[in-house]
Structures are given as C-alpha cells and as structure tokens.
Amino acid sequence: MTVLDKNLIDDTVPDHDAPGATADDPTRRLPVDDSLTAHGQALLDHDEDRHDEAIGVLRRAVAAREPAAVALLARAYLDRGYRFEVVELLTPRVRAGRADLALMLADALASTGDVDRAEDAYRAAVNGGDVEAMNTFGVFLRHRGRFGEAALMLRRAAEAGHALAPVNLVEVQWEHLDDPRPAIRTAEYWADESRPSTLLGLAFVRAASRRFDDAEELYRRAAELGAERGHIEYALFQQEVRQDLAAAERELEAAEREQEPGWALAFGQFLADVGRPDEARAYLRHAAHWGSLEAAAVLEELDGDPGDD
C-alpha cells in the first residue's frame, strides 16, 4: 500500500495546520516573520527561480505544523507540475474540512485523469464559496460534455464576480445551443469596460458572427484596458482571423511583458504553428518548467517530428 492509499483511507487528519490559530489553542500557530513558512514564501516570490529551495523549506514547515505552509507547498508543487505530490498532500486535509485547499486538489486530480475525484473536490471548493473554483469547475464540466451544467456553474461564477466566467459562458452557449441569440444577449449584458475581461465575450460573438471590425476593436480595447489574457486573445484573433502574423507576434510580446497567464505556452504554440520550432522550444520549455502539461505535450510533438527541425 502506498502512502497515498493510506491517506485516502484515513479520513481524519489533525487540524494543527488549519487556518485560524487562536490564543486558546497553542497548537494552531500563526506564522511569524522568522518562521519556515515566511522563508518559503520569500523563496517562492523571489525574482529568481528558487522553487526547489522553497519546496524543501515548506516541507519542513508542514512537518512543524505551521498553519499557512500546506497551501504554499501545494502551490509550489503545482508550479513545478508535481500533481501526485499535491494529491498526496491535500487529499486528507480536504476530507478533514479544508475547503480552502479543495481547488488545488481538484486541479491536480483533473490533470492526472482522475475526473471523478476531481469533481468531488471541485464541488467541495464551490460549496466553500470559492469563486475561482466555480469558473474552473464550469470549464471542467464543459470539457466533459455536460454543457447545461457547465452553463449553470459559469453563470454562478459570473454573478459572483469572476472576470473570465462571462467569456466562458458565452462560448458554451454559442458552441452548444442551436440558437446564437442567448450567447449574444449574454455577451452584451456582461460587457463592461470597467471589467475589461468581459469585453472578450462580446469580441468572441462579434468574430463568430463575422463582424470582424467590431471584434477587432473590442479585442484591442480589452487588451488596452488590461483584460486577463487580453493580449493573448487579440493575438489569436490576428493569427486566425486576420492572418496577420506580425501583429499577432506583437501582441504576444506584449503578453510576455505583462506576464499574462499562459503567455509562454501561447507564444510557444504560435511559433510552432508558424514554422519556428527552435524559438518555440525555448518558450515551451519555460511553460513546461512551470507546470504546463500542454506545453510538455507540444514539446514532445515537436521533438518527435524531424520535419519541424
């Protein structure tokens, strides 16, 4: 029996590392400035990549039952793509009631293909009020082909204020309803320049309706206002709709400068698509180093195809 198997059988875990330490319970210690947790946090946030050092420190912090250490160690594992370590670390704690850890557990389980347990963990996170989990669970349900459930969950996330949930909801409605009008109404309802990511949903339906000039203005405005993944989405529009590769590359360079989520994968995929595999590998290796399974898969495909060299 593996350590993980033992953890899954044992539903009871001491709550010494649970948040909310109090003076009445000295075993629930808050981290102090010189704690192992604080040191691990500093290593994770360092300008240089010191995640391997951070993982060693945070493992000691977890053993010392410092309250915030578990979440930070899970984050460090996910950054490195250590999914099974995340599952081993978080499964007993989520079962013991740590809903704040459930989203990271769900993501790790989903990425290992354990979709049934991933769904249970997503539901635990959603039931705990995690808005990010609502959006991620909606996307998960979409990929499972459960479009009605996905739309309900994404609407819940949008109503709770998640920046990208309206975009994901619009895409589900557009792609899986026979009538385009619900998606258009949703996109128009949520579009708000004070929340620039919502403009991406309206840009999507305008592009899908072949109103390309309107779509381009919306993508440009969303990127300009700082929409999440705004430059990446504008780059995809330039590449796939306008077929303007120079403009697409400029937007990806802006995404890199602004460190948009997923910039390295997007840039690497673009370079691979346009026949620049050597440049693509550098970006994809960066993304894979930081835990992107998709980047690792693209790298494997490039490395296995002599025609791409």
Of the candidates 111, 109, 98, 165, which has an alpha carbon nearest to the alpha carbon of residue 134? 165
pLDDT (0 to 100) of residue 12: 37
pLDDT (0 to 100) of residue 152: 98
Q: Counting every residue, how long is the chain?
A: 309
Of the candidates 260, 297, 267, which has an alpha carbon nearest to the alpha carbon of residue 282? 267
- For the four alpha carbons of 7, 70, 161 and 166, in that order, the dihedral sign comes to negative
pLDDT (0 to 100) of residue 307: 53
pLDDT tens, per residue, the chain with 309 residues: 333 333 333 333 444 454 443 334 433 444 444 489 999 999 999 989 899 999 999 999 999 999 899 999 999 999 988 999 999 999 999 999 999 999 999 999 999 999 999 999 999 999 999 999 999 999 999 999 999 999 999 999 999 999 999 999 999 999 999 899 999 999 999 999 999 999 999 999 999 999 999 999 999 999 999 999 999 999 999 999 999 999 999 999 999 999 999 999 999 999 999 999 999 999 999 999 888 989 999 999 998 755 555
Residue 25 β-bridge partners: 22
What is the pTM assigned to this prediction?
A: 0.82
DSSP code of 30? P
User: CA-based diameter of the chain, in Å?
Assistant: 67
45: helix, strand or coil = coil
Q: Using CA atoms, how far apart are residues 20 and 35, in angstroms rounded to an integer? A: 16
DSSP notation for 189-258: HH--TTSGGGHHHHHHHHHHTT-HHHHHHHHHHHHHHT-TTHHHHHHHHIIIII--HHHHHHHHHHHHHT
Q: Using CA atoms, how far apart are residues 98 and 296, in angstroms rounded to an integer? A: 31
Write the CB contacts of 131 (distance below 8 Å, at least 6 apart in sequence). 157, 160, 161, 162
Which tokens in the block code for residue 25?
């319970």
CB 174 within 8 A of CB 203: no
pLDDT (0 to 100) of residue 305: 59
262: helix, strand or coil = coil
CB 35 within 8 A of CB 61: yes
pLDDT (0 to 100) of residue 10: 37
